Structure 1
Amino acid sequence: MSDLVQTAEPRQDRHGGVGDSAVRPDGTLKVTGQFAYSSDLWAEGMVWATTLRSPHAAALIRSIDVSRALAVPGVHTVLTHDDVPGAKTYGMKVADQPVLAIDCVRYEGEPVALVAADDPETARQAAKLIDVAYEVIDPVTDVTTALEPGIRPVHADGNLVRHVRIRHGDMDSARREAEVVVSGDYELGMQDQAFLGPESGLAIPTEDGGVELYVASQWLHKDLEQLAPCLDLPPEKVRLTLAGVGGAFGGREDLSIHVHACMLALALGRPVKMSYNRHESFFGHVHRHPARMRFEHGATRDGRLVYVKARLLLDGGAYASTSPVVIANASYFAAGAYSVPNSEIDGFAVYSNNPPCGAMRGFGAVQSTYGCESNMDRLAAALEMDPLELRLRNAMTTGTVLPTGQEVDGPAPVGELLGIVRDKPVSNGAGGRAGPGPLPGGSGNTTRASDVRRGIGYAVGVKAIGYSGGVDDISTARVTLSEAAGEPNVAIHTAAAECGQGITTVQSQIARTELGVSNVVVLPADTRIGDAGSASASRMTWMSSGAVQGACRQVATEVLDRAARETRRPATDLALRDDMVVDRFTGEPLVSIARLVPADPIEGEFEYRHRPTEAIDPETGQGNAHIAFAYCAHRAVVDVDPELGLVRVVELAVAQDVGKAMNPQAVEGQIEGGSVQGLGLALMEEIQVDDQGRVRNPSFTDYLIPTIADVPPMPITMLELPHPDSPYGLNGVGEPPTLSATPAILNAIRDATGLSLPRAPIRPSDIALSAEAPRR
């Protein structure tokens, strides 16, 4: 269990209200296997669909012949780009991605044609009979040369998605002032979101010529915005409902089966189900951008940072997706969680014929934090200073000015978080177990205890919460209070996507807190209610809490007004508690809430907005781009067998400011989950793409993710430092742990081995076969 350092109001028992570890309404169903995920959907008369995908990363399409596929018994239709009824392309930020490939393919796995049949196996076999004549061309796969003159453009406008340029302070003076300068080149591999539920959904045509789509998603209204034009339908004829989501982590922000299933349903006039298998899922969603980075830090001899210079190169793959904002986010925080008076940062996102990359937990800040924190340890070594002391000496505080020129407001406890992980006792990691299990070789017993070296590493990260750079952000909620069987009932309707992070539970907690009603139901999220925004950027709890709180308070005002008339007391003397209106001062029950709404339900609807942000200046990168910041620090303890290159994370201590722990157990789970994804990126998770743009490991057999055997003890400390602008003082919690976990582990391995290890994830050969490794 975690330590919770409370600096906010003490908790009260609210029977599952704000601040309680409330039980998740979907929890029992999920652990017993009864929860209905999107892949479990079924409708009378439905047919199954599959996608024919390109085997090439770069090729021209000379012809497509579907006649053999159409002749297969049980096949209902085969569609190509000619059958797209509306806009031929879509995209999160740039509409550059074809619904189905038109005249060329730009990555392995690009959708080329669709088949609908009586059953999935018939559809798959028929798809193999579609004859596509490809003229294969040389792919662009090396992003280090993608912007050079003479390189073939992946898109007509060239291979640059976006260049973010940030200039802050006086770099000429800074270089003269710096007494110690270190630089390093760092590389990060392509990580997959590895959610357990592959892409799936069910499209059902409606009598008015429209379509209903039940789909696993992170942002229903953004899906609708892209989907309706491709179907050539007005938005009011396209209704999306959130189906059960088996994890997301950014991989469900982009469209997958959406247009394809709806096209087929409209063409056939009957329900169509699509469900990817695991292999197809690796080609059906975006991944984390692989990165090449160069960092240069300048400091005085006593360890005061003078400047940071960084060059970031992110491979966006074949289509833009969210690359323009991912590279912006990476660049915003390239100086790390430190006070740095001068900076020169250039971030480039580029097109290639590699798999498309987009949103993944941490959204660019993972890449730049890894580079910055790795170079901070290199700077500490050059200064002959303890790496933690260097971090503490330069830790960001409230009032620190970022490289973008924005002054940090709200709590900024970077030094405090680092101090907490420093002071935690170090576990031996064995957990009372005997035998070889705790050693780097695990139960394989390949490591001798005498060969093991221990290392300790630190890292800290900062990330913006919510949308940045002038993008408006809203969330809408409708709350209805009614009566049934003599009991008050609350229904909450939002479009907030429950991806496993617990937003459904939090909404219920807020209603119980604000309205004092125990029986609360959260209605299915769909596009009949206003936009809730994306379940990303660690924003959903903040934004939806504001919307639900606002709607509940509208309802509460009406309830108290009715109670005031009923009791002939001032509304200001009344409160809502335990399904009753009570005396605010004595707690005396006065009238049941149900009695006040027997035939006249009360409804409140509220649109919550955060304070405005600014787009950064394109030349200098200056601007108040963010609404809030969140921070997390890790201390990693590792054991390494340098001769075999084996690593075991012994412990991963975490400290994070959560603002207000709306549901402490759920927050702890978010911190654990983000830390484990960071561990995976440090040691094992990488989509391997060869120089022809082919994915070599599209399965959970070959794409390795941490298991419970890889997860170390994880002592967690949560600070509750209320943010002044948010509902209940809460802060986003989902992404920050992913930022600092990876570099903390890498720094610990470097500490144990003395190797520079500039690339993650670490492979055994990087240690055992390193030219830097001492030889016996």
Structure 2
Amino acid sequence: MGTTGTTGTTGTPTSITQGSRTTGGIGESTLRPDGILKVTGEFAYSSDMWHEDMLWGQILRSTVAHAEIVSIDTSEALAQPGVYAVMTYDDLPTDVKNYGLEIQDTPVLAHGKVRHHGEPVAIVAADHPETARRAAAKIKVEYRELPVITDEASATAPDAVLVHEGRTDHHIGHVPHPNIVHRQPIVRGDVEEAAQKADFIVRGEYTFGMQDQAFLGPESGLAVPAEDGGVDLYIATQWLHSDLRQIAPVLGLPEDKVRMTLSGVGGAFGGREDLSMQIHACLLALRTGKPVKIVYNRFESFFGHVHRHPARLSYEHGATKDGKLTHMKARIVLDGGAYASASPAVVGNAASLGAGPYVIDNVDIEAIALYTNNPPCGAMRGFGAVQACFAYEAQMDKLADAVGMDRVEFRRLNAMSQGSLLPTGQVVDSPAPVAELLRRVKAMPMPPEQQWLAAGEEADVRQLPGGLSNTTHGEGVVRGVGYAVGIKNVGFSEGFDDYSTAKVRMEVVGGEPVATVHTAMAEVGQGGVTVHAQIARTELGVTQVTIQPADTQVGSAGSTSASRQTYVTGGAIRNSCELVREKVLEIGRRKFGSYHPAWATAELLLEGGKVVTDGGEVLADLVDVLEDGSVEVEAEWRHRPTEAFDLCTGQGNGHVQYSFAAHRAVVEVDTELGLVKVIELACAQDVGKALNPLSVVGQIQGGTTQGLGVAVMEEIIVDPTTAKVRNPSFTDYLIPTILDTPTIPVDVLELADDHAPYGLRGVGEAPTLSSTPAVLAAIRNATGLELNRTPVRPEHLTGIESA
């Protein structure tokens, strides 16, 4: 440690000492500032907000999936004591009555017809939440039911009912049927000719179930009417400025009169990228002149946000006898549900990443998303690449077996690397260590056999399939091992103007230099607030960093999705910090430059609250440089541009960056009862640069656990005849608990991407891709069954169909 520099009465630095690196910067496992509050239950989430004289909002939702609205009678609801307002479509204040992320096809309140089970029809404000619920129940809606569209056959039949009549969006010109939201082909090489050269061809039909994001905190928010006629909205969301863009026109207000502040967010995983109750709370607040709070219960939350697209996938792969891939064909059908949401972008991802992290010169992929009367689907962790990975990894196992090669070595033989060409024609110009990740994960130590045997050779049922249900004592339990690897894009793609904004201020507070960082980034649990402080400490050399609440009083940070926030908003913070640093150094040069030649000749840094040279000499304290003043910069930062995929061939430089993860799953299966215990899910992942190693491992383990849920338990069940959701609760929709979560050893590889800030690579989504097919591969290995759908249920393993 160097000594602290002192300053004489003339303001001249009087000591030149060796500087010290600021702690808590990039590369360190800094603890989260919100961590203790969250684990002790003291953290304030959006559902905890309160306001004097507050009303409660309630939404009436459709009880049928597709029907004409014959009439709505609100008289009984309005007559109930304590009710301040009831609103339907006819009460909306402007001609703008729809919203949407890309296609504005979602009505604020249903008009003329409802298109899915649980669609909002009316909203109520009352002085007590129970009063609001009872009033909503008294609204009488008469429906005339219509045929439901639930799959591709019913959606694209010549006489199919149109989910959206009179479509005018920009996708309608290139889809073969109005009930198809978007279509994206990817065509490269000559598949038919290549198939003639294949010694082995394997085909598979795969079904991927619908998942819920199952975040911790249901949708909630508080809208407060303002004296200027505007509204202040405190909301749990993933993208403040996108919400603002959709909300303001419906309210008939300019954007500067809709002031949005991020409140505590209990997880997101894509489910908060679309609007839920934002507009409804604002409408009721402006109608009543009182603050209005809306909090969904868990049942309502299943209807209040989009889900992961269920999919049907048809794949064909060919290989030569020495194991080289010759070609692939794929058709991916995603069910987008009643409204578009993010379906076009999900289609783009599924198609462009549908070949996986492999070198295949001849590719023919078609991906489409349907309009149906099923629940709307949109963004969820993995965003189209998850569904494709499940199918192409099952194909890799089939093809390796056909060729007679080890499944991991077959993958490594065909793995892409830096410089490889994707099926879209884009060159992978950053590290792509697919073969190395597979080698590493295979080399990790295996868990010991029969961990369920306790002292005295008695079975510890906690370690067996079925766990504490005590259903087996080891009879019929078989172990299996499976591998998988995946590729996921990072950041928004296909020409989207993906940028972020950061405002950074540096000043002296209480005799100490302090940096303040202000962005609109939504902290949804990913740990961005921790990393932002680390970047500021690294770039500005201060210990104290204040992270201001995210709101719309600063420029957009984009969405907390697509594994992009550390990349893009981190880049914006670094950019702003660099500009602040230059201003601080310029002030120092003017004040102290004549006292030491290093001010003009050396590379100057800020470290430990001081100005130092690259050799470690301390030139001044930051307190003396800034004195009582401050320096502030607000700047945008953009990653390198992308372009839209060609609508006929799918060619184009559509993505910014790619992330890769490989998994090895070890499972034990009771083949008689159809029960699965995942013993271990080992992961190897390249992260470019681990800005916070502890958080990186946490993200990988969290994504891996979500992939486990997709593999063996999570699915929203929709009745195929009525399109009604059958299991909208955590009683019937199962998610992994701590008892289901296996050991997850992680091997982190850091190969810097020269195009990214600090060389980092987006982390959060890639492990969700490969963990699911690894678990399925392990179960197949244990049972010998084909298992071409997720999630795997007991009846799929025993052949005994459930009632």
TM-score, normalising length from structure 1?
Answer: 0.96
Alpha-carbon distance in 1 for matches of 2:22, 2:417 = 34
What does residue 129 of structure 2 align with? 120
Aligned partner (choices 96, 109, 117) of residue 100 of structure 1: 109
Secondary structure of 2:461's aligned partner: coil
In the TM superposition, what whole-angstrom CA distance separates every residue of 1:564-595 from its partner, at most 9, and x where no partner exists?
3333332534321111223431x344422122
What does residue 492 of structure 2 align with? 467
Q: Which amino acid aligns with 2:540?
A: L
1:671–1:131 CA distance, 2 compared to 1 (3 A): same
Note if contact 2:452-2:461 (Cα within 8 Å) is conserved in structure 1. no
What does residue 618 of structure 1 align with? 647
Secondary structure of 1:214's aligned partner: strand
Summarize the alignment of residues 464-503 of structure 1 with structure 2, pairs less than 5 Å apart: 464-503=489-528
What does residue 5 of structure 1 align with? none
1:279–1:304 CA distance, 2 compared to 1 (3 A): same
Alpha-carbon distance in 1 for matches of 2:77, 2:40 = 40
Q: Which amino acid aligns with 2:122?
A: A
Aligned partner (choices 311, 320, 323) of residue 291 of structure 1: 311
Ranges in structure 1 where 5+ consecutive residues have no aligned partner: 1-11, 772-776
Note if contact 1:633-1:655 (Cα within 8 Å) is conserved in structure 2. yes
Q: Which amino acid aligns with 2:498?
A: D
Summarize the alignment of residues 208-357 of structure 1 with structure 2, pairs less than 5 Å apart: 208-357=228-377
What does residue 757 of structure 1 align with? 787
Q: Which amino acid aligns with 1:339?
A: V
Alpha-carbon distance in 1 for matches of 2:154, 2:792 = 24
Secondary structure of 2:739's aligned partner: helix
The more displaced of 194-203 and 482-491 is 482-491
Q: Displacement, 1:426?
A: 0.5
In the TM superposition, what whole-angstrom CA distance separates every residue of 1:575-618 from its partner, at most 9, and x where no partner exists?
21111223431x34442212222332101222101111111111
Q: Displacement, 1:179?
A: 1.4
1:627 aligns with 2:656: yes
What does residue 5 of structure 2 align with? none
What does residue 4 of structure 1 align with? none
Q: Displacement, 1:454?
A: 1.1
What does residue 672 of structure 1 align with? 701
What does residue 217 of structure 2 align with? 197
Alpha-carbon distance in 2 for matches of 1:448, 1:589 = 68
1:741 aligns with 2:771: yes
What does residue 606 of structure 2 align with? 576
What does residue 186 of structure 2 align with? 166
Aligned partner (choices 138, 145, 149) of residue 136 of structure 1: 145
The more displaced of 426-435 and 50-59 is 426-435
What does residue 182 of structure 1 align with? 202
1:723 aligns with 2:743: no
Note if contact 1:478-1:605 (Cα within 8 Å) is conserved in structure 2. yes
In the TM superposition, what whole-angstrom CA distance separates every residue of 1:259-313 from its partner, at most 9, and x where no partner exists?
1000011111111100100000000000000000100001111111011100000
Aligned partner (choices 735, 738, 743) of residue 705 of structure 1: 735
Alpha-carbon distance in 2 for matches of 1:334, 1:276 = 36
1:51–1:430 CA distance, 2 compared to 1 (3 A): farther
Note if contact 1:429-1:712 (Cα within 8 Å) is conserved in structure 2. no
In the TM superposition, what whole-angstrom CA distance separates every residue of 1:496-543 from its partner, at most 9, and x where no partner exists?
110000111111000000011111011011111111111011101100
In the TM superposition, what whole-angstrom CA distance separates every residue of 1:6-40 from its partner, at most 9, and x where no partner exists?
xxxxxx96421011111111111111211111001
Aligned partner (choices 384, 400, 419) of residue 420 of structure 2: 400
Note if contact 1:428-1:650 (Cα within 8 Å) is conserved in structure 2. no
Alpha-carbon distance in 2 for matches of 1:232, 1:307 = 54
Secondary structure of 1:457's aligned partner: strand
Alpha-carbon distance in 2 for matches of 1:188, 1:573 = 56
Note if contact 1:456-1:747 (Cα within 8 Å) is conserved in structure 2. yes
Note if contact 1:504-1:522 (Cα within 8 Å) is conserved in structure 2. yes
What does residue 651 of structure 1 align with? 680
Secondary structure of 1:253's aligned partner: coil
1:513 aligns with 2:538: yes
Secondary structure of 1:44's aligned partner: coil
The more displaced of 391-400 and 378-387 is 378-387
Secondary structure of 2:677's aligned partner: strand
Alpha-carbon distance in 1 for matches of 2:30, 2:152 = 47
What does residue 415 of structure 1 align with? 435
In the TM superposition, what whole-angstrom CA distance separates every residue of 1:411-439 from its partner, at most 9, and x where no partner exists?
00000000001111111377798312211
1:151 aligns with 2:160: yes
What does residue 447 of structure 1 align with? 472
Note if contact 1:468-1:614 (Cα within 8 Å) is conserved in structure 2. yes
The more displaced of 714-723 and 567-576 is 567-576
Q: Which amino acid aligns with 1:679?
A: L
Aligned partner (choices 46, 64, 88) of residue 56 of structure 1: 64
Summarize the alignment of residues 366-405 of structure 1 with structure 2, pairs less than 5 Å apart: 366-405=386-425
The more displaced of 572-581 and 356-365 is 572-581
Alpha-carbon distance in 2 for matches of 1:378, 1:464 = 26
Q: Which amino acid aligns with 1:763?
A: R
Secondary structure of 1:464's aligned partner: strand
Alpha-carbon distance in 1 for matches of 2:531, 2:214 = 25
Q: Displacement, 1:770?
A: 6.6
Alpha-carbon distance in 2 for matches of 1:442, 1:67 = 53
Summarize the alignment of residues 516-555 of structure 1 with structure 2, pairs less than 5 Å apart: 516-555=541-580
In the TM superposition, what whole-angstrom CA distance separates every residue of 1:598-652 from its partner, at most 9, and x where no partner exists?
3321012221011111111111011111111110000101111111111111111
1:427–1:64 CA distance, 2 compared to 1 (3 A): same
1:15 aligns with 2:15: no
Alpha-carbon distance in 1 for matches of 2:303, 2:220 = 14
Q: Displacement, 1:343?
A: 0.4
Q: Displacement, 1:93?
A: 1.1
Alpha-carbon distance in 1 for matches of 2:41, 2:783 = 44
In the TM superposition, what whole-angstrom CA distance separates every residue of 1:542-570 from its partner, at most 9, and x where no partner exists?
00111000111111112222223333332
Q: Percent identity?
A: 57
Alpha-carbon distance in 1 for matches of 2:400, 2:605 = 57
Note if contact 2:452-2:464 (Cα within 8 Å) is conserved in structure 1. no
Ranges in structure 2 where 5+ consecutive residues have no aligned partner: 1-19, 168-177, 455-459
Alpha-carbon distance in 1 for matches of 2:110, 2:799 = 43
Q: Displacement, 1:144?
A: 4.2
Note if contact 1:518-1:579 (Cα within 8 Å) is conserved in structure 2. yes
Alpha-carbon distance in 2 for matches of 1:257, 1:444 = 40
Q: Displacement, 1:374?
A: 0.9
Note if contact 2:204-2:395 (Cα within 8 Å) is conserved in structure 1. yes
Alpha-carbon distance in 2 for matches of 1:563, 1:581 = 8
What does residue 774 of structure 1 align with? none
Aligned partner (choices 621, 624, 643) of residue 595 of structure 1: 624
Alpha-carbon distance in 2 for matches of 1:581, 1:231 = 50
Note if contact 1:456-1:638 (Cα within 8 Å) is conserved in structure 2. yes
TM-score, normalising length from structure 2?
Answer: 0.93
Alpha-carbon distance in 2 for matches of 1:16, 1:30 = 21
Alpha-carbon distance in 1 for matches of 2:357, 2:234 = 41
Secondary structure of 2:572's aligned partner: helix
Note if contact 1:429-1:438 (Cα within 8 Å) is conserved in structure 2. no
Note if contact 1:429-1:651 (Cα within 8 Å) is conserved in structure 2. no
What does residue 6 of structure 2 align with? none
Alpha-carbon distance in 1 for matches of 2:357, 2:414 = 8
What does residue 6 of structure 1 align with? none
What does residue 69 of structure 1 align with? 77
Note if contact 2:191-2:328 (Cα within 8 Å) is conserved in structure 1. no
